[in-house]
Amino acid sequence: MSFREKAAWISLAVTVGVWGHYFWKLGSLLGQEADLTRLFVNSVVLSIGAQIALQLVAHVTTPAAERSISDEREDRIESRATSVGYTALTILVVTLALASPLIIGGFGEVPHDLFADAAVAMPNLIILAVIVAEALRSLTAIAFYRLGR
């Protein structure tokens, strides 16, 4: 496995693992008094720490000569994957913008719903859009690496 493919796997694992945990935890805190800012900051720190640690492992387990290569096939794969991620991000953000009146209006049916508070809902939905786009970018890159193109 090349260094850049390892990087794509690491990005996917950290994105899904750390931010999956964040949103699962957020869901479990619905309607409760909780320090959501701390949960978010912990997730950011954990995400950066895990990325650095795993990238170091990938660095050590890949021969130096291979790490320094700028490979045209890998450049193309990364470019296509970034295009997929960017398109997904654009669609998700535009969808959020169009749905914002509904979100700001609240999901009034549930009285103590955490997401009734737009100040909590909007930032988290934007974070979710970024996370989904990044996961899609990594998945696309991995798929192309596995297919050899």
Partner 1 sequence: MAAPIRNRLRELRFHAGEMTQAELALKVGVTRQTIVAIEKAQYAPSLEVAFRLARAFDVGIERVFWWEE
The site for partner 1 (CB under 8 A) is made up of: 1-2, 5, 65-66, 69-74, 145, 147-149
Query: Cα–Cα distance between 45 and 134 in angstroms, integer?
Result: 17
> Please, which residue, 93 or 143, has the CB nearer to partner 1?
143
Nearer to partner 1, 18 or 81 (CB): 81
- Going by C-alpha positions, the residue among 6, 22, 4, 1 that lies closest to residue 132 is 22
Supply the minimum distance, in Å, between the C-beta of residue 19 and partner 1.
Answer: 28
Q: Report the alpha-carbon distance of residue 85 to residue 144 in Å, rounded.
A: 14
Structure tokens at 123: 């930032």
Pick 59 or 149: Cβ nearer partner 1: 149
CB of 148 to partner 1, least distance (A): 4
138 close to 11: Cβ distance less than 8 angstroms: yes
Work out how close the CB of 79 gets to partner 1 at its nearest, in angstroms, rounded to a whole number: 14
